[in-house]
Amino acid sequence: MSWFDKTCAVLAFLLGVVFLVLGAVGLFTGCSANFRLPPILGGLPALVGWGIVRSIRVAWRASRPPAVPELHFPDRPTTGI
């Protein structure tokens, strides 16, 4: 991941944490952040936050796929294809 990817990942992670906190509080008290949800549905932002946090963690830990080895056939010429 480049520095730009990592910066965006950190910002998305922080946004996900905000959604997790808002959803955890909203589960019991409801939430209002330019929208109003009743107490049970107030937990929906937690699902959004978890989706963001989980995808960032998976992407951060993902390694690059191994390079495909170049095949060499000693019986065949290397030119012509």
Please name the residue ranges forming H helices in 1-81: 3-29, 44-61
Structural domain harbouring 28: 3-61
pLDDT, one tens digit per residue, over 12-54 is: 888 888 888 888 888 888 767 676 778 877 777 788 888 888 8
- Nearest alpha-carbon partner for 22 in 1, 4, 56, 47: 47
- Asked, for residue 69, whether it belongs to a domain, the answer is no
Note whether residue 78 is domain-resident: no
The reported pLDDT for the residue numbered 66 is: 64
Q: Is residue 73 part of a domain?
A: no
Residue 67 lies in a domain: no
pLDDT score recorded for residue 47: 82
Is pTM beyond 0.75? Reply is: no
Chain segment 47-68, per-residue pLDDT in tens: 888 888 888 888 777 756 666 6
* 24-56 per-residue burial string, b: 16 or more CB within 10 A, e: under 16: bebbeeebeeeeebeeeebbbbbeebeebbeeb
